[in-house]
Amino acid sequence: MVDEHVVVEWVRPNVAFVRLNRPQKRNALCVTLLEQLHSAIIEVTNSTSARVVILGGAGPVFCAGLDLTEAIDSNKSEHLMSRFSSILDSLLSSDLVTICAVQGGAHAGGLGLLAACDLVVVTEDSRFSLPEVRRGLTPAVVTALLRRQIPDRPLRELILLSEAIDAERAVAIGLVSRVVPAEQLENSAIQMATAAIAGGPHSIANSKRLLDGQPSGNLVDELHSAVTQHLSARESNELEEGINAFLEKRAPKWKQSS
């Protein structure tokens, strides 16, 4: 029987908590865990009721990164990176709101999972690092995500010095969204999910695509494109329902099942 390295719990009718479940190895990303995680994310994403996915980890540490015993195994390393890349793609392309809930820390590939999510809430004792260069590796995949999220100088420190930073520093450079006491982590993530559900599903999906788009460098062109997107959104049923719900002082229909 294959160990259950990933556990999915529906904490709300439309909020799934996907938990890495290899605490004895600090949730190191082995092939089995990555395969189960990819399947779980696809399953939740394809669910007609899902609106939010919360990614967390069992035990004292969210994720220590790739399992190095497999990363140096020539028979497994390529498959390991292929699965890891597929998971990042699934998180990045999902129309759902993705929230990463981190306790203890996120390192190397674990930092990649964090960076692939829309929102990040962490415990006060959390630490974050990219130790790859000290292992003779290059954090190419994670860097591709982080260079769009944090300034160049802090990113160079993370990569070239390989020193861990604390939660306060992580907030300051824009790596994480919120810092909370350890006992409040899961409730805080669920509260963020509840707030996200208040938005219309299509409005959220369209907003994510807008946020993920690469700046063109020409502000006038971007404004024209934004006007087109805004007018397109006005043609949706969500607009009418959202305004009616506001005027009638009730929850919109998409929130009533949450």
Question: Which residue do the tokens 């190095």 mark?
Answer: 68
Instruction: Report, as an integer, the average pLDDT of 132-138.
Output: 91
* Per-chain mean pLDDT for the chain: 89
- Is residue 33, in this structure, part of any structural domain at all? yes
Interior/surface letters 3-38, b for 16+ CB within 10 angstroms, e for the rest: eebbebeebbebbbbbbbbbeebbbbbbbbbbbbbb
Q: What is the pLDDT of residue 1?
A: 39
Higher pLDDT, 226 or 164: 164
Q: Which domain, by its residues, includes 240?
A: 201-256
Q: Are residues 21 and 77 in the same domain?
A: yes
- Is residue 10, in this structure, part of any structural domain at all? yes
Instruction: Report, as an integer, the average pLDDT of 94-121.
Output: 97
Q: Which of 162, 197, 232 is where one domain is finished?
A: 197
Higher pLDDT, 73 or 215: 73
- Is residue 252, in this structure, part of any structural domain at all? yes
Q: What percent of the chain has pLDDT over 70?
A: 86
Q: Are residues 24 and 149 in the same domain?
A: yes
Whether 246 shows a pLDDT value over 90: the answer reads no
Q: Are residues 54 and 171 in the same domain?
A: yes
Looking at the 3D structure of the chain, how many domains does it have? 2
Q: Are residues 158 and 119 in the same domain?
A: yes
- pLDDT tens-digit series, residues 1-37: 357 999 999 999 999 999 999 999 999 999 999 999 9
- Is residue 1, in this structure, part of any structural domain at all? no
Q: Are residues 221 and 178 in the same domain?
A: no
Beta strands at 52-57 and 127-129: parallel, antiparallel or unpaired? unpaired
pTM for the full predicted model? 0.89
Residue 102 burial by Cβ neighbours in a 10 Å radius (0-12, 13-18, 19+): buried
- pLDDT tens-digit series, residues 176-232: 999 999 999 999 999 999 999 999 998 999 899 888 876 655 655 655 565 665 556
Q: 180 is written with which tokens? A: 């909370």
